[in-house]
Structure 1
Amino acid sequence: MRRVVLRGFSTEGGPRPDRTALLSLGLVVLFAPLAALSLLPLLWPLRLAGVPLSLGYTVWACSAGLYGLRPVQLALARLLWPVRRPTAAERERLDLVWSRVLRRAAVSERRFRIWVVDLADVNAHCVGRDLICVTTGALAELGDRELAGVLAHELGHHLRMHTAAAAFLVWVLLPLQALALLGSGLALPFARLGRHLRRTERGFGARRWALIAAGRLEAGLRLAFAAPGVVAFAVKNAAGREAEYQVDAYAVDLGFGAELLSALRWFEACAAPAAVAPLVPGPRRARHAAAREARPTHPPLERRMAAIIARLDAAPAAVPPQGRGRGRSESSRTLLP
């Protein structure tokens, strides 16, 4: 297995972009002209209706600034996940764990918010520039120290502005996804023609050549319109994988490396295998704090664990055992040697 080295960064101070966030912002600048060009077929009908193209592009540009607003971020979170405010009991536990993480990071408790997602999966993810979402499955299954390791990981994403920068990149890439959908629509008649010819085609006559032509036209249209988005999201996902190593290093340097490693081991031992995710993400896909199988934006779990162990410079047996649920970490079964 290839050895992965975690690169650390300062554990003090407020949010500031690291090289992964700067790469995402650089991709925003790089793909913005292509995104603007992709919008042209979508805005042209408005142009024929008398609406100037400049107005459409202005609205598109101004929409990026809306993402920085807290109500917009929360609305997007509610659109994608069943997110809610924590109950009194959940708030009491989260405040206890979260305050430990923030004290180590020297960050104000008012800077970030934690909400709960009603999902049985053991997950956590970031939204916008100050929101962290924790699933009810994570609250039910993870011990307090393991939960602290996961929250330290997510805090690293916010402090290094990974989520905010990636959100602006996704905003730029939305026109490329729309362009891919347009290509699929244009290819649909050729797909239907191919299905019809496939039912009636016999031998190698004219219908056979028409079937081949229809198939190639369909594939060509889909490829031509989808290629820019596929390339852009491949670069974005590569940056996301690098970000996971960086925030793992942050959790280790903050003093929660053993806790995060224990949470990842718990997930590896108990969680069901994750389904293969598409290269271009769809709705209702949480940003997982731990993924058992490789995902587009997450490296393989075993590589992350090996890198954390190497940074801790300790044997796996030295990791403190963690139980399930609040207040049971010492008496519950351990998943560690």
Structure 2
Amino acid sequence: MHLSKDQRRTDATAVGNLLLHLPNFLCSLFVVALVSAFFGDFAFLVILVWLASGALVFHRPTESALARRLLRLRYPTPQERAKLEPVWRMVTARAGIEGRAYELWVEDSDSLNAVAAAGHIVGVTRFAMNQLPNGELAAVLAHELGHHVGGHAWSSLLGYWYALPGRVAWRLLKAFSGFVFKVSRAFGCFGVAFVVLFMGGIALATISTLYGLPLLLLGVPYALAAVGRRAELRADEHAAALGFAPMLAAVLDKLHQQEQRTAAELAARNGGTPVEEGALAKLLSSHPDYHTRLHHLQPYLQPGR
């Protein structure tokens, strides 16, 4: 095993992800600044603590808590570890990566899936671990390793973390607006019109004061989804470059069949009419479709590669 000098890096996809989270970060900073005003002389300290909290993304105990609570992962049993670790060592040896820098976790799920989370977690579903041949399981793990090596996992979590105060404030604002709108309906059309004009005036004043920057937030989810799809292709290329292209193609075929079965079930519930995915839903998808991913793998599937 030859250890690569660059164990991980921050590629263009990770940088783009961080830049796209900048509007969310600024909104969260504004929210935190408003909340910190209630702490008087300690307001600046509250802001500094929040800014420094991003380091928790790389804190192992915090990562473990997130893995358990948010991702529903668990540590593998001794039998599961005996299955996973030899495959993981093969992948990391090919990549020249120190495998002990990462932790293997398991999700109790009957779907074919895996995840790269935070800075050091690689999780696979119980189905993927038990049903995939070792070569295909290695391809899945190599794909997730690609997310870590490229910096996709930590940059996504860091962006999500710093966007959290803004997201919470937005949900509270939506709930309050809905409550006010329901109350205004009791006063008839005049009450509704007054509330709409009042809140519209506040929104317009905010957008004008901030030179239209809040409008950027409307496009951020679509841009982040596009970057996410690019990150998936980069991770596919990482696995393919390690020699797992045929195995990864086989896994993609299984995923495609899984999607087709799900679509058939939805159509059956809908009286036999296929449920078509809308254009906006496709733009918000975090993963490329099967044909796109397979197309990008073609150069690695050619004879002689």
TM-score bracket relative to the smaller structure: 0.7 to 0.9
2:24 and 2:217 in contact (8 A); partners too: no
Between the aligned partners of 1:258 and 1:128, the Cα distance in structure 2 is 28
Deviations 1:294-326, CA, capped at 9 Å, x for gaps: 863212232112221244236xxxxxxxxxxxx
What amino acid is aligned across from residue 308 of structure 1 in structure 2? L
- Structure 2 vs 1, CA of residues 269 and 22 (structure 1 numbering), >3 Å: closer, same or farther? same
Change (3 A) 1:221 1:156: farther
Deviation, 1:195, is: 5.3
Tell me which residue corresponds to 1:240. 228
The one-letter code matched in structure 2 to 1:26 is L
The equivalent position to 2:285 in structure 1, one of 259, 280, 296, is 296
Aligned length: 274
For the structure 1 residues 257 and 39, does the alpha-carbon distance in structure 2 shift closer, same or farther, using more than 3 Å as the test? same
> How far did 1:112 drift?
1.4
C-alpha distance in 2, partners of 1:43/1:80?
A: 27
C-alpha spacing 1:29/1:267, structure 2 compared with 1 (3 Å):
closer
Residue 239 of structure 1: CA displacement?
Answer: 1.6
Write out per-residue CA displacement over residues 12-32 of structure 1, whole angstroms, 9 at most, x where no aligned residue: 841011111122333455654
Match in the other structure for 1:269:
257
Match of 2:12 in 1: 19
Aligned residue number for residue 237 of structure 2: 249
Instruction: Name 2:32's counterpart in structure 1.
Output: 39
> Which sits farther off after the overlay, 234-243 or 261-270?
234-243
Q: Percent identity?
A: 28
CA drift at 1:209: 4.5
2:62 is the counterpart of 1:72: yes
Shift of 1:128: 1.1
| Aligned equivalents of 2:114, 2:103: Cα separation in 1 | 13
What amino acid sits opposite 2:60 in the alignment? R
User: Counterpart of 2:273?
Assistant: none
Match of residue 258 from structure 1: 246
Q: What residue number does 1:313 align with?
A: 302
> Relative to structure 1, is the Cα distance of residues 54 and 92 closer, same or farther in structure 2, using a 3 angstrom cutoff?
same
Counterpart CA distance in 2 for 1:221 and 1:183 is: 13
| One-letter amino acid matched to 2:16 | L
Indicate the residue corresponding to 1:193 in structure 2: 183
Which residue type is aligned with residue 41 of structure 1? L
Alignment check: 8 A CA contact 2:222 2:283 kept: no
Provide the C-alpha distance between the structure 2 equivalents of 1:19 and 1:163, rounded to a whole number of angstroms: 13
Q: Corresponding residue for 2:122?
A: 132
Structure 1, 33-42 or 105-114: larger mean CA deviation: 33-42
Equivalent pair of 2:143/2:238 in contact (CA under 8 Å) = yes
Q: 2:76, 2:155 → 1: CA distance?
A: 27
Q: Is the 8 A contact 1:294 1:300 kept in 2?
A: no
Q: Deviations over 1:267-297 (max 9, x none)?
A: 11135538xxxxxxxxxxxxxxxxxx88632
Amino acid at match of 2:252: L
Structure-to-structure mapping, 1:1-337, within 5 angstroms: 13-27=6-20, 32-44=25-37, 46-47=38-39, 50=40, 52-193=42-183, 196=186, 207-214=188-195, 229-271=217-259, 272-273=261-262, 296-313=285-302
1:56 Cα deviation (Å)?
Answer: 1.5
* Separation in structure 2 between the aligned mates of residue 299 and residue 56 of structure 1, nearest angstrom: 40
Give the secondary structure class of the aligned counterpart of 2:122: strand
Describe the SS at the equivalent of 1:86: coil
Compare 226-235 and 173-182 and name the one that shifted more. 226-235
- Measured after TM superposition, the shift of residue 61 of structure 1 is 1.0
Task: Report the Cα offset of residue 39 of structure 1.
Answer: 2.3
Q: Specify every segment of 5 or more residues in structure 2 that has no aligned partner in the other structure, as ranges.
A: 208-213, 264-281
The CA distance in 2 between the partners of 1:69 and 1:219, in whole Å, is: 43
- In proportion to residue count, which structure has more helix? 2
Q: C-alpha root-mean-square deviation of aligned residues, in Å? A: 2.9
Question: How far off its partner does 1:97 sit?
Answer: 1.4
